[in-house]
Structure 1
Amino acid sequence: MKPQQVLKSYELALASQDWRLVEPLMHKNVCVTFSNGTFKGIEEVRTVFEENFSYIKDEQYSISKAHWAHISETEAVCLYCFSWKGIIEGEHCSGSGRGTTVLINENGCWQIITEHLGPNES
């Protein structure tokens, strides 16, 4: 799989709200930064993702405007816009922002090593 395919698979996996589909796309040393903190290692990341999945019901997640800033044989960097909508405590909610994802290729397998999500530009 190429980095672009991994990011598309990641988008679909997040939309499924099923960690079993997300985990294979993550490196064991993954680090993610969300508005509520930075989470390091696959176990911390799994915990925060599963918490988000349980909190947001019927989530729809999408990535758009992907810009691949760098792709080599061993690493790739993508900047993009993301949006989500779902139900939180019975209320329809939505959000959007900008993301940066870094992927690395180890032993012929591309995986996400870091992700940083933040607000839209003001």
Structure 2
Amino acid sequence: MGYERALEQYISATNTHDFNNVRKILHENAIYWFSDKTCTTNSGIQRYFENAWNLIKEEVYSAEDVKWITVDEGSATCIYTYRYKGYYNDEFVSGSGRATNVFIKVDDGKWKLIHEHLSSL
């Protein structure tokens, strides 16, 4: 399934810590609801990601217990538990929360992330 692969690619791109890789998965109209901020432009999303990567060094992001709650020919929505680990001020940190991702199929048949909502558990 293309949407499942899109989620895998998104997680992999996030872990490269290079927003150019993340941008390839994002829809041009993507909206992110982070726990402390809403980002409605790709440039805003990029600034948020890059700030997080600067705060938590060597961060590894992962998704567990992924459940696809709606799927049709043009969209797919999943929920999962996200986990992160890395170094904050040279000390190992880790955490988790809830995530919702909405993917849509665009004209070229690729799946793009149009919405992400992250919150604490």
Which aligned pairs between 1:12-91 and structure 2 lie closer than 5 A? 12-91=12-91
1: distance between equivalents of 2:65 and 2:117? 16
1:99 aligns with 2:99: yes
In structure 1, the gaps of 5 or more residues are none
Which aligned pairs between 1:98-117 and structure 2 lie closer than 5 A? 98-107=98-107, 108-117=109-118
Structure 1 position 7, deviation (Å) = 0.3
Aligned length: 120
SS in 2 for 1:73: coil
Identity of paired residues, percent? 33
Structure 1 position 90, deviation (Å) = 1.4
2: distance between equivalents of 1:106 and 1:15? 24
2: distance between equivalents of 1:43 and 1:58? 22
1:119 aligns with 2:120: yes
* Coordinate RMSD, CA, aligned: 1.1
